[in-house]
Amino acid sequence: MKYKEMLLRIKNSEIVKLATGSVIAQIIAIIASPITTRLYTPDQLGIYTLLLTVVTLFGPLLSGKIEMAIVTEKEEKNVYAVIVLSLILCFIFSIVTTILYTIYLVSTHQFTNEYIVYVIIIFIYMLITGVTNILISYNNRNREYDTISSVYVIRTAIQNIGLILFGFIHLSVFGMLLSQVLGSLFGIKKQANKLIPNRNKLKQVEKKEIKNVLKRNYKLMLYTAPSAFCNSASYSLINFFITAIYGNTIFGYYSLSYRILGIPLSLISINVSKIFFERATNEMNSTKSFKNTLQKITKLLICLSIPMVVILLVIAPELCKIVFGEDWVVSGQYIQILVFMFGIRLVVSAIISPALVIAKKQSTEMKMQILFLISSVLIYIISKYMKLNIYAFLIMISISYSIIYIIMYIYICQLSKGKEVIKNEN
């Protein structure tokens, strides 16, 4: 009886609900990947990746991370002011980002007539991404983990089906971008089910209320958003560095290894982060500490991380050979070099941002994330002038990033005790 109760409890747990959806979504993406790489040329894939880079970099920041306050606001009436503020910021930042990205494309002589359509699609995609971020925070506040999970699966399925279908009818880059936009539209209504009946409350929000929530949560914009950008940029810069030193072919191998290593992050870390944020916030509000939540989530993530590291260390080259062909064995070798760092990242990335928000230490996160940028730039300079091979480059990245992640985690452990927060309040 106890065994059945334990299984039922596990089945109904928030982590399992979110992880199940992510697992299904990633399986869909994995199945589609070998097909799509045969439907599109490397040049088309390159242009597509270039255009989506702006959404990857700025998509999570379109509301200045203000949407995170939807989870932390204690009074329900303030939540609607946060949502309105987030929507306003999303629209403004989407316009600004699109304009700046267009200027970049023109300045680098990559802008042609067909890019006008691409840029319009990217703008629409950014708006949808920003709205989705807001709705996810609202779902998280209301513990609608089933909704978050199911919508993620639907979107991934539509996007990958679109990629395949548009590939067969030769829509090229336009078809690839269109598949992303169409997929992202699915599920928005479902996410907003609980918000739609309260839409009048959104209309009733006054400027004074918006100013008040901005005043209380401005640190999210000043510190959390830039630090999140630095974190994303630190990995994006590696792409440019590898291409600059070793060429497009080597970068192609690396990009596949990065995609595979990113699967566990999508499956586990991102979803667990949402649950950690909600639980740690509640613990902090009641006990002035979130030590217990940190310990429980850390143990869970370590138990998930270790098997990933061990398995990929052993089978990565053979896995790439079987799934993607003999030419991709090199990607498996890169995975073996990077997997230890990604294992640590799996644990730390799930807790770092929420923990610093809860402890009101957002400024520290940006300082920590800048370390990644400095590290990658230094490794680029050393590798270029010493003419090191790609293996040496990746080993240095893996070691330096691992050290930074460990330092970040030690700091979070200190904050979880609540002493720093108590000092600030006094």
Tens digit of pLDDT for each residue in 278-305? 788 888 887 877 888 888 888 888 888 8
Taking alpha carbons only, the member of 122, 123, 65, 127 closest to residue 91 is 127
In Å, what is the CA distance from 68 to each residue of 220, 319, 354?
8, 38, 9
CA atoms within 13 A on the CB side of 96: 12
Q: What angle do CA 252, 256, 259 make, to 5 degrees?
A: 135
In Å, what is the CA distance from 344 to each residue of 60, 237, 341, 403?
22, 20, 5, 9
pLDDT for position 375? 93
Tens digit of pLDDT for each residue in 322-370? 877 777 788 889 999 999 999 999 888 888 878 887 877 766 777 777 8
- Rounded CA-CA distance 388/397 in Å is 13
- Rounded CA-CA distance 417/6 in Å is 30
Taking alpha carbons only, the member of 168, 182, 163, 174 closest to residue 114 is 174
- Phi and psi at 302, nearest 5°, equal -65, -40
- Rounded CA-CA distance 90/65 in Å is 10
What's the one-letter identity of residue 371?
L
Tens digit of pLDDT for each residue in 299-325? 888 888 888 889 999 988 888 788 777
First to last CA, the chain: 50
- Own/partner contacts of 139-142, CB < 8 Å, gap of 24 or more, are 139/191, 140/70, 140/71, 140/274, 140/277, 140/278, 141/70, 141/71, 141/79, 141/278, 142/194
Tens digit of pLDDT for each residue in 250-289? 777 787 788 788 877 766 776 787 778 878 888 888 787 7
pLDDT for position 388? 93
Is the Cβ–Cβ distance between 86 and 66 less than 8 Å?
yes
Percent of the chain with pLDDT over 70: 87
- Rounded CA-CA distance 340/322 in Å is 23
Tens digit of pLDDT for each residue in 111-144? 667 778 888 888 999 999 899 988 888 888 877 7
Q: Which two tokens stand for residue 80?
A: 């609607």
pLDDT for position 422? 43
Per DSSP, helices labelled H in 288-388 are: 291-324, 329-348, 352-358, 362-386
Taking alpha carbons only, the member of 378, 188, 414, 401 closest to residue 290 is 414
- For CA atoms 387, 329, 30, 298, the dihedral sign is negative
Instruction: Give me the chain's average pLDDT, please.
Output: 80
| Residue 121, SS3 per DSSP | helix
pLDDT at 183 over 50: yes
Left (φ > 0), alpha (ψ -120 to 50) or beta: where does 325 sit? left
Annotate 363-418 with DSSP letters as a single string.
HHHHHHHHHHHHHHHHHHHHHHHHT--HHHHHHHHHHHHHHHHHHHHHHHHHHHTS
Left (φ > 0), alpha (ψ -120 to 50) or beta: where does 11 sit? alpha
pLDDT at 413 over 80: yes
* Angle of the 14-39 helix axis to the 248-264 helix axis, nearest 10: 160
* pTM strictly above 0.85: no
- For CA atoms 30, 228, 281, 148, the dihedral sign is negative
- Rounded CA-CA distance 325/24 in Å is 24
